[in-house]
Amino acid sequence: MPLTTWLGIMAIAAALPLLGWSLFGQRTPHKKAIQENLRRGIAAEAKAKKRSSGRFEEIAGKFTPDRLVATLDRQLALAGRPPKWPLRRLVTAKIALGTAAVLLSFLYVGNMPGPKSMLLAVALTAVAYFVPDLLVYSKGTERQAAIALELPDTLDQMTIAVEAGLGFDSAMARAGQNGKGPLAAELVRTLQDMQLGMGRRDAYMALLARTKAPDLRRFVNAIVQADRYGISISSVLRVQASEMRLKRRQRAEEKAMQIPVKVLFPLMVCILPVLFMVLLGPAAINVFETVG
């Protein structure tokens, strides 16, 4: 047997013990016990916190009517389902705020008994209980207004993309990627629903379920009808874009015409009385002094 072969066999025989020592000889004794000991406090605290929060959320859900939960879930869908505002957390917040308001109301009524105190306590409890609903409703209203405001510009972009040769889905994807508002996010989600296997009509209906902007609903219905009857998408987009621009201009003119009516009340209540006091006050003082 050649010398090189013997040297190779000897090198392999010397390397095997080194390999075994590197794999098994460097293990820390009782490593598993040490890791469990280090994780014991953190894991127990996390589990206890999760268990307690889960129990509290479960109790809060039992004391909340199903109709209110469904309404709150609908408002969350219109608000875009913010990550920091899950449904269970909002239901828990409703119960917590209502309970705190009831305790404060008992203390207030106990110190100042009377019908006015009772009415104020009931009003405070009702407001505290519905604070999460009001916040979600406000968020949803702002989001729907932003969608209605962004729709004409988005339709213009989609019209240009379709007339340049892109398909409707590609034009929608481009408008969703280039946009930054809630409408762009809804378009991207609609395309993702289609990619996951949802039918085109079902994806559009899901988009309508997440929004309540009348202009967007009208546009989606027009697209569904065009897809059903084979109408040209470019012509539908062109007509819808011009109609949306016209409606946006009409809404702006309507709001401008409402300004004088809205200004009338603060003018009559806050500005004119002070103006009359400044102008007629010295004359009234002189009249009183002359008569006296």
What pLDDT digit, counting tens, does each position of 115-158 carry? 888 888 888 888 888 888 899 999 999 999 999 888 888 888 88
SS3 167: coil
Question: Alpha carbon of 112 to those of 28, 107, 108: distances in Å?
Answer: 69, 9, 6
Q: What is the pLDDT of residue 6?
A: 57
In the numeric block, which tokens belong to residue 249? 């201009």
Q: What is the pLDDT of residue 142?
A: 92
Q: Which residue would you say has higher pLDDT here, 45 or 117? A: 117
**For the residues 184-194, what does the mean pLDDT come to?**
90
Give dist(CA 218, CA 167) in Å, integer: 21
- Give the chain's radius of gyration (CA, Å): 34
pLDDT at 88 exceeding the cut of 80: yes
pLDDT at 18 exceeding the cut of 60: no
Q: Are 43 and 100 in contact (CB under 8 A)?
A: no
Q: What is the pLDDT of residue 42?
A: 47
pLDDT tens, position by position, 273-284: 888 888 888 888
Banded model confidence at residue 271, pLDDT cuts 50, 70, 90: confident
Q: Are 251 and 213 in contact (CB under 8 A)?
A: no
The one-letter amino acid code at 267 reads: L
Q: Which residue would you say has higher pLDDT here, 90 or 31? A: 90
Residue 26: partners with Cβ closer than 8 Å, 6 or more residues away? none
Banded model confidence at residue 57, pLDDT cuts 50, 70, 90: low
Q: What is the pLDDT of residue 238?
A: 87
pLDDT at 49 exceeding the cut of 70: no
**For the residues 99-123, what does the mean pLDDT come to?**
83
**For the residues 16-33, what does the mean pLDDT come to?**
53
pLDDT tens, position by position, 199-251: 888 899 888 888 888 888 988 988 888 888 888 888 888 888 888 888 888 88
pLDDT at 35 exceeding the cut of 50: yes
Q: Are 97 and 65 in contact (CB under 8 A)?
A: no
pLDDT at 258 exceeding the cut of 80: yes
In the numeric block, which tokens belong to residue 9? 């066999």
Q: Which residue would you say has higher pLDDT here, 144 or 11? A: 144
pLDDT at 60 exceeding the cut of 80: no
Q: Which of 54-58, 219-223, 231-235, 288-292 has the lowest mean pLDDT?
A: 54-58
Banded model confidence at residue 44, pLDDT cuts 50, 70, 90: very low
Which among 149, 144, 198, 195 is positioned nearest to 172, based on CA atoms? 195
SS3 149: helix
pLDDT at 72 exceeding the cut of 60: yes
Q: Are 158 and 237 in contact (CB under 8 A)?
A: yes
pTM, rounded to two decimals: 0.65
Which among 158, 102, 154, 159 is positioned nearest to 127, based on CA atoms? 102
